[in-house]
Amino acid sequence: MGVDTTRLRFGDLIAGGSAVLLFLFTFLRWFKVTGEGEDQIPDSFKDAFSFNAWEAMPFLTFILLVCILAVIAIVVIRLTGTQINLPVPLGTIILAAGALAVLIILFRLVLTPDPSVSFLGREFSVKDNEGDVGRSYGIFLGLLAAIGMLAGGFLSARERGEAIPGVDGPLGGGVAGGGGGGPLGAGQPGGGGPLDTGQPAGGQPAGGYAQQPTGGAAPAGGAAPVGGAGAASAGAADPGAGGGGNPPADWYDDPRGEARLRYWDGQQWTDQTAQ
């Protein structure tokens, strides 16, 4: 398992970089005490009346941290080529993490928190003591970084041909328009299309492998295209046949072009590849 930067797409770089920036921005000033006496606060005390994300909203910032770590973890998984099977595509997880981060920050932009100020050994609630909490530059930078995570996840899903829930139809389903399944990247092999759609010509992997391809992980149950066996073998169901049903689980030409073969689990493309 080695690091290969060519495995990353432009969207992955945007999402990962934005996640790192969002983490750094949580330590900037997000909120500050405002009011009639704000200008009279001595400069030496102004830090006591300003708050970063961790100080003003610790629980929500912890959720932001989970979103950040999820995005960074997926970028590392793709960078190292680690094989991992999840019930949803990795791009969908990046999208969900970015969307949640945007919603959290927008919520605190509209409804500012009520942090406590420690002054002269006592804790004072800002709003309960007729003060007000204003927004500072950090929360706006954080919002931009969260939007970057969301946009990066969208671009990554598009570049990798992963279906986007709410845009391309139900999770794991294809976009209407592909013969017997959907166009390239819609979530399943095209039905009877040319090689670059993910459907092998003649219903079997190109080249008719006589053994499990080197470097590929076997699908669940140990099935592999041995001697033309599997869904690509004689007498097995042709993925292009049936006019609209999902093709059976098996190895097919990689529609993403990252490897020679990619494993289709019957519902969606997995991260299992073979050279």
Tens digits of per-residue pLDDT, 127-175? 666 667 889 999 999 999 999 999 999 998 888 877 776 666 544 444 3
In a domain, 180, yes or no: no
| Cross-sheet strand order for the sheet of 250-253 | 250-253, 261-264, 269-274
Full domain range(s) for residue 15? 5-159
Residues 153, 59 share a domain? yes
- CA quadruple 83, 86, 89, 94: dihedral positive or negative? negative
Residue 9 confidence (pLDDT) above 90: no
**Of 159, 178, 211, which residue constitutes the final position of a domain?**
159
Is the pLDDT at 32 greater than 90? The verdict is no
Residues 28 and 133 occupy one common structural domain: yes
Q: Checking DSSP bridges between strand 122-125 and strand 116-119, what pairing results, if any? A: antiparallel
Q: Which residues pair with 133 in a beta bridge?
A: 33
> Same domain for 147 and 236?
no
Q: Average model confidence (pLDDT) for the chain? A: 72
Residue 52 shares a structural domain with residue 113: yes
Per-residue pLDDT reduced to its tens digit, 71-123: 999 999 988 888 788 888 888 899 999 999 999 999 999 998 888 776 666 66
Split at pLDDT 50, 70, 90, the class of 1 is low
Q: Which of 159, 185, 212 finishes a domain?
A: 159
Q: Is residue 172 part of a domain?
A: no
Instruction: Say how many domains are in the chain.
Output: 2
Q: Are residues 24 and 136 in the same domain?
A: yes
Judge if 220 and 265 occupy the same domain.
yes
